[in-house]
């Protein structure tokens, strides 16, 4: 085999290897690897992309490992008083603004009246609002006079 035929065969072999490797590389295949698919909605997300599922208040994120991460509203722990959830009146808010707030009431009674404190917490348990109402009883009589002239709360004020 002479040098010229060897070079021609070598170049042909080299070109066939390049064409084989080029056909196995597809820009579309690499493009698909940059996505995650949310199984609940079928939506495709880029790595790092975030969206909130409508009517569920769940934040969905595509991680660099091509896995879906979900954040949802939590019920705060160790809240004091009588607590209940207060849903948002606005529709289609992004997470975490779509999470309900939690309103807790506590009562403290003393000889002069009653103090009602209402604290509002977000889903992380952080205090977002506090409201105090005090009912003051004026002229509380003791003895036989009390049954004749019972005086109820005279003034209610809020702080």
**pLDDT tens by residue, 94-136:** 999 999 999 999 999 988 889 999 999 999 999 999 999 998 8
Is the CB of residue 98 less than 8 Å from the CB of residue 86?
A: no
CA-angle at 159, arms to 126 and 150, nearest 5°: 125
Which letter, b or e, does each residue of 31-44 get, where b requires 16 or more Cβ atoms within 10 Å of its Cβ?
eeeeebebeeeeee
CA distance linking residue 123 with residue 95, whole number of Å: 11
| pLDDT of 85 above 70 | yes
**Phi then psi for 17, rounded to 5 degrees?**
-65, -40
Per-residue pLDDT, averaged over 82-95, amounts to: 92
Q: Residue 70 and residue 55: Cα distance in Å, rounded?
A: 15
Domain 34-72 has CATH 2.10.70: yes
Query: Cα(129)–Cα(118) distance, rounded to whole angstroms?
Result: 8
Whether pLDDT at 158 is above 80:
no
42 — pLDDT class (breaks 50, 70, 90): very high
Look up the pTM and report it: 0.61
- Tokens 């209610």 appear where? 156
Gap between the Cα atoms of 68 and 53, Å rounded: 13
Q: Closest Cα partner for 62 from 76, 78, 79, 45?
A: 45
HSE toward the beta carbon, residue 153, CA cutoff 13 A: 12
């Amino acid at each position: 085999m002479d040098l010229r035929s060897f070079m021609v065969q070598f170049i042909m072999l080299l070109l066939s290897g390049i064409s084989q490797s080029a056909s196995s590389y597809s820009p579309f295949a690499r493009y698909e690897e940059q996505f995650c698919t949310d199984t609940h909605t079928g939506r495709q997300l880029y790595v790092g992309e975030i969206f909130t599922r409508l009517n569920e208040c769940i934040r969905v994120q595509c991680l660099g490992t091509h896995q879906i991460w979900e954040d949802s509203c939590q019920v705060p722990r160790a809240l004091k008083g009588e607590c209940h959830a207060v849903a948002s009146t606005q529709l289609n808010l992004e997470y975490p603004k779509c999470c309900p707030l939690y309103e807790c009431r506590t009562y403290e009674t003393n000889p002069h009246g009653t103090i009602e404190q209402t604290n509002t917490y977000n889903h992380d348990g952080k205090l977002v609002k506090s409201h105090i109402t005090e009912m003051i009883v004026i002229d509380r009589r003791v003895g036989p006079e009390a049954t004749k002239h019972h005086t109820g709360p005279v003034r209610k004020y809020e702080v």
